[in-house]
Amino acid sequence: MANSIANSVPTKEGRYGKFGGQFVPETLMTALLELETAYDEAMNDQAFTEELAYYLQQYVGRETPLYYAENLTKELGGAKVYLKREDLNHTGAHKINNAIGQALLAKRMGKKKIVAETGAGQHGVATATACALLNLECVVFMGAEDIKRQQLNVFRMELLGTKVESVETGSKTLKDAVNAALRYWVTNVEDTHYILGSALGPHPFPKIVRDFQRVIGVETREQILNKEGRLPDAVVACIGGGSNAIGMFHPFVDDETVALYGVEAAGSGIETGKHAAAIAGGQLGVLHGAYMYLLQDENGFVQEAHSISAGLDYPGKGPEHCYLHDIGRVQFDSITDSEALEGLQLLSKTEGILPALESSHAIAYTAKLAKTMSTDDIIVVCLSGRGDKDVHTVRKALGGEV
Amino acid sequence: MTKLQQAIEQTKIAGNKAFVPYIMAGDGGLETLKPTILKLQEMGVTAIEVGIPFTDPVADGPTIEQAGERALAEGVTLRKVLAVLASFRGEIQVPLVVMTYFNPVLAFGLEAFAKACVAGGVKGLIVPDVPLEESEILRDTLNSRGIDIVQLVSLTSPPERIARIAAASQGFVYAVTVNGITGARASFADDLHDHFARLREASQIPVLAGFGISTPEQVVSMGALSDGVIVGSAIVTALHEGNLEKIEALVSASKGVFQKSTL
């Protein structure tokens, strides 16, 4: 495709338009350059891609269904809603797609140890799982606040043989876990690979994560063509750093008829300042190696993100999303904590599917969007994860006993 | 030759090694910045690295991170630090090198930042999260105003890369002595000697060693490999504890290293 937007980024310097780049300490530069070379070689090696495909099918359980949510569609009375069931993956979310891919890559590179960060714990669990499977030593950094919110996932990681390190600095959430993981990587770079879990960080991470998550959109595209004989009118995904969204969007970016909607977490409301919507309420800046939209004050100090969903609780947006926003290809909107809770209950009651709080943002947005569209229109939603991990938080938020 | 490089070359001519302390600006309150700089200047340091606090200091260990958190709690910002420097510029003879992460510079605006650096008499800039690949924009904006961009070389940088960084760096080459973050270390890798030999051969400008150097003995041993040392966490701790004798001991360890190492 001569005019492909999708294939035009990143540049060899790791830029998505003006976004992205490699803003990291020099100690990591060689590791990033090596990673890029190793990744390119791996993706051109049929043995590697076959091994990855094997694990995705036999271990993760792909492909995941594209489910027509008939009850939800009727309830909303607008466009037909399809759910891409990433919640049915092994470990309960899309995170495993990338974790398996990068763990196989690490093994190929001869790295014996893995470090990762986690917010909600889903990426941590996925990485711990991949490391148990592939016999890699694993340490996961997690903010002390998130550890409190996600006790069960901490225990799951420990059961899988991973060491969970509590991060007590800064806001004690995901961004601080990334800081700690980067520091650990700088110190142990020679035998350790960093499995970054979102479409963030220095080049080549946003590209690697995107490519390993693309399977979501690739499957969806084929499935909807089989079921409906045409492409959807709209595709919706929630965005924290943006891994499930970029995986879902990327195969549709060059399909001009498909509208793409990215849903940020508005927390208590954009106007309150307590949110995680960097595109709606942030400025351009550099954090964790990339130039992107970032929640920060006038002095360039990074601000804490706020969301009921720990997985969206990050102050930046991945560079490719920033680029797709700037060129007008993806439309960004946001959903508050309380709207997300309604979305979660709506899907639970209509379809018997308990979505993760992250994915509930996409459901809540779809509920609004579907009503504005005709019954002939089709929306596909990325249901990025299941909500079992959030039951405690949801119960507390809805006023139940904890 | 730039002012910064000149100051280092002069210590070499005098038979000494360069000694560059790192301070966290505003640790203990912004009002401590002036007396701290003047005190270090009086002790005979070669240059001073003025650290700016940041919310997400990924290259720093706990000592500097905590000092940064204390400074942030005092309301210290890049703008305020440069304004304080400008207020006593006439009393500053020692070259000042600002060490800041990139985002506060972006938020300030590159042009405005460059002007404030000039007003504060700043002679050099170190941005640990801007490697060679991303550094052009800084050189474009700051070089015309007489401010050096100091690049870091790490133990993981391969020879070809070392050569490019050494050629691009200004004032001095900042040689990171460990894989890791800032902070005291008990020991260093055995092959540092070869690393520094390669580095000094590749570099037309002085090479200073930094990260993990915290004792007078380490000042001597690292000084022997290089043109001088940068001491961060140990200085930050000593200033926090008000232990000026410790700083005196570190500075005096840098004097006469050259003669000792060539005997």
Domain boundaries, chain A: 6-57+95-205, 61-92+214-397
Q: Cβ contact (<8 Å) for A299 and B104? A: yes
* Least CB–CB distance from B176: residue in A26, A30, A288: A26
B138 domain-assigned: yes
- Name the pTM for this structure: 0.96
Cα–Cα distance measured from residue A193 to residue A188, given in angstroms and rounded to the nearest whole number: 9
B260 domain-assigned: no
Dihedral Cα B160, B164, B167, B168, nearest 10 deg: -160
Q: Write the pLDDT tens digit of every residue in B191-207.
A: 899 999 999 999 999 99
Tell me what percent of the residues of chain A surpass a pLDDT of 90. 92
Residue A78 has pLDDT above 60, yes or no: yes
- Best CA proximity match to A68, nearest among A243, A220, A257, A262: A220
* CATH topology (fold) of A6-57+95-205: Rossmann fold (3.40.50)
B158 domain-assigned: yes
Count Cβ atoms within 10 A of the Cβ of residue B118 and give its class: 0-12 exposed, 13-18 middle, 19 or more buried: middle
- What CATH number should be reported for the domain holding residue B24? 3.20.20.70
User: A11 at the B interface (CB within 8 A)?
Assistant: no
In the residue annotation, B191 being an active-site residue is answered as no
B263 domain-assigned: no
Span of A90-99, A102-111, B38-47, B253-262 with lowest mean pLDDT: B253-262
Identify the CATH assignment for A61-92+214-397 out of 3.40.50.720, 3.40.50.620, 3.30.420.10, 3.40.50.1100: 3.40.50.1100
Tokens 């232990």 belong to B243
Cα–Cα distance measured from residue A297 to residue A321, given in angstroms and rounded to the nearest whole number: 22
B261 domain-assigned: no
What single DSSP character describes residue B150? Answer: P
- The pLDDT-based confidence of B262 (bands split at 50, 70, 90) is very low
- Best CA proximity match to B127, nearest among A288, A26, A284: A26
pLDDT at residue B260, as a whole number: 47
B235 domain-assigned: yes
Domains A6-57+95-205 and A61-92+214-397 are alike in CATH topology: yes
User: A401 at the B interface (CB within 8 A)?
Assistant: no
- Best CA proximity match to B133, nearest among A14, A185, A179: A14
Yes or no: say if B133 and A29 are a contact pair by the CB < 8 Å rule.
Answer: yes
- Chain A residues with CB under 8 Å of B132 CB are 26, 29
Provide the shortest C-alpha distance from residue A182 to chain B (in Å).
7
Q: Tell me the residue range of the domain where B16 lies.
A: 3-255
In the residue annotation, B60 being an active-site residue is answered as yes
Residue B22 three-state SS = strand
Residue B23 pairs in a beta bridge with: B50
pLDDT at residue B261, as a whole number: 45
- Chain B residues with CB under 8 Å of A190 CB are 156, 179
- Name the residue type at position A207: K
Q: Write the pLDDT tens digit of every residue in A297-315.
A: 999 999 999 999 988 989 9
Question: Where are the strands (E) in chain B, listed by range?
Answer: 18-24, 48-51, 96-99, 122-126, 148-149, 152-153, 173-176, 207-210, 228-231
Yes or no: say if B210 and B230 are a contact pair by the CB < 8 Å rule.
Answer: yes
In the residue annotation, A50 being an active-site residue is answered as no
Tally of domains within chain B: 1
- The pLDDT-based confidence of B111 (bands split at 50, 70, 90) is very high
With both helix axes pointing from N to C terminus, report the angle between B192-202 and B216-225 in degrees, rounded to the nearest 10.
50
